[in-house]
Amino acid sequence: MVNETDADRIQREKDRRRAEERLRIDREHHRRLHDVEILRRTAPHTGPEGPERGPVEAQMKPTAEPRQSDQAPAVVPNPTTVSEKETPPVQPDAKPTPGPPSRPIGRPVQSEAVRKFLSLDPAEKFDIQALNQLPLAPLLHEGTESPELLALLAVRAEALMERVKREVDDPLTAGALLREFALTWYRHSPDDPVWAEISQARWGGIFAESKVTGGRLQPWLNTRLWAVHKRSLRKGGVRHRVRRGLSRSRVAESAVSRTATQQIQAEVAQAFADDLASNSRKAEAGLPLVHLSELAVRRQVATVNEALATLFNSSETGPFVVLHPNRYPDCEELQIRPPSGGASGAALAFTLVTPKGSRRAGGRSGVPSHAEAVDVSGTPATGPEEEADVDGTTIWEARAVTAATWHSVLDESQREKRRLDPPPKDYRNRPSYASLRDLLLRNGEARKSFLAVKWRGRPAGLPLLTALLQKGTIAPEVATDHEYLEAELGELSHGDPQFVPEGGTWKFPGWTVIREGTHREGFRYRSLPVTAGPGDKA
């Protein structure tokens, strides 16, 4: 146009685009109506009371002949191309075959993954192992655009994230969950040929990210739920996104955030679960905890020991008791043994062991032959069948303990790099304590073993006495330690822990101990062997 101005051209372009947009909307509207009509006709729902009527059919009265408007446009076949065989016979009494159930008109399409996900809830139907096995990746690629369904997915993901956070980050519940995993491993793994395949998919990524060197990587469960939550908010309605964005609860954000202590605890728990899932249990053999050992190389042994002590309510020096017969009578005691203090690199190894099984497997090869026949007082030794269940954790409760039993316990503790449990408060009245003290007075090899595995803390008298007899001289570093040592010397020499000789000299069978120095400057003690006791190798 010759006289067309810029304003006219702009207005004409706007009218053209508006007409094209209106045409596109009309076409889309007609296409959706056509799709709904096809779904309504081709997929009727057959219920117990007959086919379900749609919203249009519910208002129509049943007639003998359906109207033309309720049917698809009829196509008139060509009589020259259709044969009589292709015409299906008409059976007036035939019942219609039930087809697959269809969803009501207007309800969003739900896949199998969506149905399984929505069937879980954070209370009654919560199962962390079933949730962990559920494939959450299909939820990120759902074809539905229903704001209602996306809002439901977002709310459900947020609620499940909060419950998972409580389960795996609280030390009490996390430790209880690990005990359940260990109990399942103990009972079912020996008879399951596909244990590793099933358990790795069941337990991987529950506490933290599961890693396999050079292989698969399973993200943390809450990280996967967070992806579903964010995708549902992004694809949902504007009102839903604004409402969730302005919310002050921030439950989803807090469910994926952790402190440094919680992160280390989760990594330790996941490493232990991965080790249980990777290998089945073998009778009377320990399980090397490879994942936990590799984590200790990266995080340091003291850090891993601290997390294990928190999870299993144990001492940081170990061993860490996972299962105990007092709670699970059908199981042996399971302990996580930490590595020795000087281990590093490939020699650094955590091990899951059963103390009784390891003692039966190792036997008593380190016990002298004479010790198996008689105890320290010359009394015939108790039969092996009577002391088969005595170990380092139950020896203080035993009624009679022989030298052979103490030799076995000391050798086992030294071999497994663990310390003895301290005796109870009434230890001086225990036969096991007297038997151990007599053995240490007579046998130099037993003194070496005892000093390597002696208990920590109180009572300190017997460890000090053993060190004095083995080294020949000792100067207690703690001011009160000389009282514990002199109590042992007084009971050995006169049967009274309160007895203190005037000259500071104690004499008892096989030894003489002399005290030197003063209380102000500190006492020193010297031991002198008088006569060598039977079997003494000092």
Q: Which of 61-75, 410-424, 491-505 shows the lowest per-residue confidence on average (mean pLDDT)?
A: 61-75
Distance CA 418, CA 432 (A): 19
Sign of CA dihedral 335, 341, 346, 347: negative
Give me the pLDDT at residue 269, please: 94
- Tokens for 44, please give them: 């009727």
What local confidence, expressed as pLDDT, does residue 144 receive? Answer: 58
Q: Which residues of 150-183 are buried (b: 16+ CB within 10 A; e: fewer)?
A: bbbbbebbbbbbbbbbebbbebeebbebbbebbb
Three-class secondary structure of residue 95 per DSSP: coil
Two tokens, residue 386: 């009577």
For residue 77, cis peptide bond before it (omega within 30 degrees of 0): no
Q: Please give the pLDDT value at position 468.
A: 86
* Residue that is written with structure tokens 């000092």 in the block: 538
Find out whether 451 and 498 touch, Cβ atoms under 8 Å: no
- Compute the average pLDDT of residues 301-305: 90
The three-class DSSP label of residue 515 is: strand
Q: Which of 519, 511, 419 is nearest to 475 (CA)?
A: 519
531 touches 516 (CB < 8 A): no
Q: What token pair was written down for 524?
A: 């020193």
Instruction: Tell me what pLDDT residue 342 has.
Output: 65
- Distance, CA of 440 to CA of 444 (rounded, Å): 7
Separation CA 525–CA 182 (nearest Å): 50
Tokens matching residue 107: 């309800």
What DSSP line would sit under 269-313, residue for residue? Answer: HHHHHHHHHHS---TT--EEEHHHHHHHHHH-HHHHHHHHHHHHT
Q: What per-residue confidence (pLDDT) applies to 92? A: 52
Percent with pLDDT over 70 in the chain:
70
Highest mean pLDDT (candidates 18-22, 384-388, 528-532): 18-22
458-491 residues labelled b (16+ CB within 10 A) or e (exposed): ebbbbbbbbbbbbeeebebeeeebbebbbbbbbb
Residue with the larger pLDDT of the pair 479 and 175: 175
pTM of the predicted model as reported, rounded to 2 decimal places? 0.52
